């Protein structure tokens, strides 16, 4: 019981970390406004494992990811972690005796990705939405579904792909070879035709969520990721339907 209380408190500390930041803890869940707390996610973890060493490693991994996102994406709008935590736990449990080593690798890759694509590098993206909600993953699977359809959105194979993509993008930016990733007039890179200013991003993503057009329902612990829909096209079409401003560069 004492160990459980200590571990529960460690997940509460993650909520405190976020609460200290000037962010709105919004969820894309059409049925509620705020993200699932880490205290609640901790309870779900306890339902799946009683291994205190593993639970402690999960908490440390999440702490590093949360800090990285806060530092590199301070203007991020939606903060759903449910499916990421669920998928991370599932992978760790499959590793059995090497679960802690897996979590260390997972955390390192997630932090590197966050640092690479955030505001502190030349890539300078504003949100983690396309990653957390699976738009990048769905696009990747669609290019080779025969070999990729069984790879989950947070599997290490996909994280490695994104790390390589980030390195290539930084190289192209340094050589001024980027055509569709130019900086918008607000200083952020936006590869889309439509505005991604906060009010526009919020309207478009919440509308997509209501119409079940999000590849990964990251607010759902038991989400079933979907890759075989033209998410990019539907996103652009809905932006026009909603009269969202076109991007100016």
Burial of 31 (0-12, 13-18, 19+ CB in 10 A): exposed
What would the mean pLDDT of 81-95 be, rounded to a whole number?
97
Report how far residue 198's alpha carbon sits from residue 186's, in angstroms, rounded to the nearest whole number. 11
What would the mean pLDDT of 105-133 be, rounded to a whole number?
96
Question: What's the pLDDT tens digit per position in 198-221?
Answer: 999 999 999 999 999 999 999 999
Question: What's the pLDDT tens digit per position in 130-157?
Answer: 999 999 999 999 999 999 999 999 999 9
Number of H helices, E strands in the chain: 11, 0
Residue 4 has pLDDT above 70, yes or no: no
Q: What is the pTM of this model?
A: 0.92
What would the mean pLDDT of 178-184 be, rounded to a whole number?
69
Tokens (6 digits) for 106: 């997972």
Q: Which of 12, 35, 212, 11 is nearest to 128 (CA)?
A: 35
Question: pLDDT-derived band of residue 187, with 50, 70 and 90 as boundaries?
Answer: confident
Length of the chain equals 249
CA distances to 194, 207, 248 from 241, in Å: 12, 11, 19
Report how far residue 148's alpha carbon sits from residue 165's, in angstroms, rounded to the nearest whole number. 17
Tokens (6 digits) for 177: 């070879």
Instruction: To the nearest 10°, report the CA torsion of 69, 70, 71, 75.
Output: 100
């Amino acid at each position: 019981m004492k160990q459980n209380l200590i571990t529960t408190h460690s997940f509460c500390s993650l909520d405190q970390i976020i609460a200290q930041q000037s962010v709105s803890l919004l969820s894309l869940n059409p049925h509620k406004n705020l993200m699932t707390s880490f205290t609640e996610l901790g309870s779900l973890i306890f339902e799946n494992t009683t291994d205190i060493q593993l639970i402690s490693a999960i908490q440390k991994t999440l702490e590093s990811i949360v800090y990285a996102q806060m530092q590199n994406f301070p203007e991020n709008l939606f903060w759903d972690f449910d499916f990421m935590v669920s998928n991370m736990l599932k992978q760790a449990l499959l590793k059995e005796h090497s679960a802690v080593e897996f979590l260390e690798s997972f955390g390192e890759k997630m932090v590197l990705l966050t640092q690479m694509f955030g505001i502190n590098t030349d890539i300078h993206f504003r949100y983690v939405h396309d990653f957390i909600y699976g738009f990048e993953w769905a696009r990747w699977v669609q290019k080779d579904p025969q070999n990729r359809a069984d790879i989950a959105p947070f599997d290490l194979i996909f994280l490695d792909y994104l790390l390589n993509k980030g390195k290539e993008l930084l190289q192209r930016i340094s050589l001024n070879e980027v055509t569709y990733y130019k900086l918008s007039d607000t200083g952020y890179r936006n590869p889309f035709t439509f505005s991604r200013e906060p009010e526009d991003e919020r309207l478009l993503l919440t509308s997509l969520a209501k119409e079940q057009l999000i590849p990964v329902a990251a607010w759902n612990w038991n989400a079933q990721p979907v890759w075989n829909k033209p998410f990019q096209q539907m996103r652009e079409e809905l932006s026009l339907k909603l009269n969202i401003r076109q991007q100016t560069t």
